[in-house]
Amino acid sequence: MMIRTILIGAAVCLNLLAPCHLHAETAAVPGDHPLAAVMLYDQAEQLRKQGKLAEAEIFYQRAVARWEKIFGSSHPSVAAGLSSLADLQQQQGRLAEAERLHQRALAIREEFLGKDHPGTGFSLRSMALLREQQGRLPEAGLFCQRAAAIFSAQLPKGHPDIHATQELCARLKQKQP
C-alpha cells in the first residue's frame, strides 16, 4: 500500500512536471535521486497504457535498475517495479520470465515487509493470476487463499482488494475438477 501511495503521489507530481517526463535520465533529476526512478516507472506506465509494450519494458527495467542502485536489491520499490515488469511479461505471454520476476518480488516483500503485509498479499495475488494463466490451478488457489487471508486481516472491512481477491479465489475453485 505504501509503495502504491508513493508511486501515485509521484505520478500526481509528475503531471505537473510533464516536460521533465522524457528526461528522467538527464539532468532534470539527478540519477541517484529516487524521483528519477519514479519518473522512469511513470513513463513505463504511460507507454504500457498506449500499447507500446516493448518501450514500456525498457523503462520498467531502467526504473528497477535505478531503485536497486539507490536502495539495494531488497527494497519494496524494487519489488513494485519487478511486479509491474512481471505483469507486462505476463501480458505478452512470456510466462517463464513473469514467474521469475513475480517470485523475486514476492521474496523481497516477504523479507522486507513481512509475510502478513498487504504488499506481500499483492504479490501472492499476482502469483495466483500467473498460476491460473499457466493452468496450475491448485497452486493458484493456494496463493489466492494466502492473499485473501492477508487482505481480510490487514485491510479495512469492505476494501476492494478483499472483494477482488475473494472473487478470484471463487473463480479458481470453480475451475478445479
> How far is the C-alpha of 30 from the C-alpha of 13, rounded, in Å?
16
Band (pLDDT 50/70/90 cuts) for residue 87 is: very high
Task: Compute how many other C-beta atoms are within 10 angstroms of the C-beta atom of residue 138.
Answer: 10
Cα Rg for the chain, rounded, in angstroms?
A: 17
> How far is the C-alpha of 175 from the C-alpha of 177, rounded, in Å?
7
Can you read off the three cell numbers belonging to residue 115? 509475510
**Mean pLDDT, residues 37-61 taken together:** 96
Compute CA distances 98 → 9, 24, 39, whole Å.
27, 26, 23
> Is the per-residue pLDDT at 5 higher than 60?
no
Residue 10 pLDDT: 44
Q: Which residues of 58-88 are buried (b: 16+ CB within 10 A; e: fewer)?
A: ebbbbbbebbbebeeeebbbbbbbbbbbbbb
Give per-residue pLDDT as tens, 134-149.
999 999 999 999 999 9
Q: Which domains does the chain have, with CATH numbers?
A: 1-94 (1.25.40.10), 114-177 (1.25.40)
**Mean pLDDT, residues 12-25 taken together:** 42
Residue 53 pLDDT: 97
> How far is the C-alpha of 110 from the C-alpha of 122, rounded, in Å?
11
* Residue with the larger pLDDT of the pair 82 and 33: 82
Residue 177 pLDDT: 81
